[in-house]
Amino acid sequence: MKKLDNILIIGNFGKGWDNSICDEKHISDCLALLGYKVTELQREMSEHNVVEKDQDLIIISQWDNYPKNFIKNLKQGFRCPVVFWAFDYQEDGQAWHEEMVKECDLYLSPLMDSKYPNHQWLPQAFAPMFLDKVNVFKEYDVVFTGTYLPQGKFRTEVLKAVDEKFNLHIFSVTQEEWKTQGLKNVHPPVMDYDLPELYGKSKIVLSVDLFPGHKGCWSDRNAQAMACGACVIYKYAPLSEEEFQDGVVYFNTIDECLSRIQFLLDNKDIAKKVAEKGHVIARSSLMAIHRVKNLITILENTLE
């Protein structure tokens, strides 16, 4: 395809539902850092004619409230390729999602297996550029930062088992829901620039995806914790070893999780080595700039 100079990104450039900086903003900033001229269009401003028409590419982030025929109208108005990037797991059968995928030139998602012919796998998970490790006292034995959702049954079972045996602390926007599940130490969420201190205070960071069985699909929790120098224990997801390598400790069953947490707490030197490996891996391959470079490679080799 022709050289990409001007890129229009449509999405949320403020705070998300959990009050964290949205992925679109990190992606936009990194594209600009790489020398691209980026125009940000807040998704609620569907009157796209307010934007300069000289665009080489349009990237649209997932949202279920775009007007009908949104991508179709964009392509008619701008005459350039349109990429739809669904950062999170999206179930089949959602009308808004099906329409967006059908009308775009390229569909990016963290699901490796897809029925869509214009699909390309691209993991959403990355660490914001400002994340790095800090040296603080290790206050918490085990920390989990994530939401409660009823469909995440295995996640809840793991957390309950860990909470029963260890000093688990949960930091989440769904505080009341976790308390309702009987979890003891539940705190308000910690986001963005405050994550290095929280992860620095954690002896172990527990990571369990909502749907751990989906190949190639995982949250950004690992990348963020690794970038902050934390020792991460992670429920294995297919192909996650390609992404996180030996920078995390993997488990499959609840018993494995409990025994490996105990081992890491009893063997601080080994936990420290895991954390150090994870930090190197994250800083060299899992930051936002690396994901954006992946994006550019995909665009240059798939779009005409």
Beta-strand (E) ranges in 117-211?
A: 119-121, 140-145, 168-171, 185-187, 202-207
Q: Calculate the average pLDDT of the chain.
A: 93
Estimate the crossing angle of helix 254-266 against helix 268-285, to 10 degrees.
110
Tell me how far apart the alpha carbons of residues 104 and 70 are, in angstroms, rounded to a whole number: 10
Residue at 135 is within a domain: no
Domain count, the chain: 2
Do 188 and 279 reside in the same domain of the chain? yes
CATH number of the domain where residue 258 is located: 3.40.50.2000
Do 148 and 21 reside in the same domain of the chain? no
Residues whose CB falls within 8 Å of the CB of residue 299, separated by 6 or more in sequence, listed in order: 1, 4, 57, 83, 106
Strand order in the sheet with 168-171: 185-187, 168-171, 140-145, 202-207, 232-235, 249-251
Q: Given pLDDT bands bounded at 50, 70 and 90, which one contains residue 217?
A: confident
pLDDT for the residue numbered 46: 62
Residue at 43 is within a domain: yes
Q: Please determine, for residue 233, whether its predicted confidence score (pLDDT) is greater than 80.
A: yes
Estimate the crossing angle of helix 254-266 against helix 153-165, to 10 degrees.
40
pLDDT tens-digit profile of 250-285?
A: 999 999 999 999 999 999 999 999 999 999 999 999
Do 81 and 215 reside in the same domain of the chain? no
Do 149 and 277 reside in the same domain of the chain? yes
Q: Please determine, for residue 50, whether its predicted confidence score (pLDDT) is greater than 60.
A: no
What sign does the CA torsion over 256, 259, 261, 267 have?
negative
- Three-class DSSP category at 138: coil
Q: Computed over its alpha carbons, how large is the radius of gyration of the chain?
A: 20
Do 230 and 164 reside in the same domain of the chain? yes
Residue at 128 is within a domain: no
Do 262 and 206 reside in the same domain of the chain? yes
pLDDT for the residue numbered 2: 63
Tell me how far apart the alpha carbons of residues 94 and 274 are, in angstroms, rounded to a whole number: 40
Do 259 and 297 reside in the same domain of the chain? no
- What percentage of the chain carries pLDDT values higher than 90? 80
Q: Please determine, for residue 10, whether its predicted confidence score (pLDDT) is greater than 70.
A: yes
Amino acid, res. 179: K
Kindly state the average pLDDT of the residues 110-134: 91
Do 62 and 176 reside in the same domain of the chain? no
- Three-class DSSP category at 146: coil
Residue at 222 is within a domain: yes
Do 111 and 230 reside in the same domain of the chain? no
Least confident of 92-96, 173-177, 225-229: 92-96
Dihedral pair phi/psi, residue 21, rounded to 5° = -65, 135
pLDDT for the residue numbered 1: 62
Q: Please determine, for residue 154, whether its predicted confidence score (pLDDT) is greater than 90.
A: yes
Residue at 15 is within a domain: yes
pLDDT for the residue numbered 49: 56
Query: Whose structure tokens read 């450039």?
Result: 13
Do 112 and 169 reside in the same domain of the chain? no
Kindly state the average pLDDT of the residues 4-24: 93
Residue at 198 is within a domain: yes
Do 279 and 296 reside in the same domain of the chain? no
Residue at 131 is within a domain: no
Name the burial class of residue 175, with classes exposed (0-12), middle (13-18) and buried (19+) by CB atoms within 10 angstroms of its CB: middle
Do 298 and 266 reside in the same domain of the chain? no
Q: Please determine, for residue 163, whether its predicted confidence score (pLDDT) is greater than 60.
A: yes
CATH number of the domain where residue 87 is located: 3.40.50.2300
Could you list the residue range(s) of the whole structural domain that residue 70 is in?
6-123+288-302
Residue at 133 is within a domain: no
Structure tokens that stand for 21 in this block = 């900086």
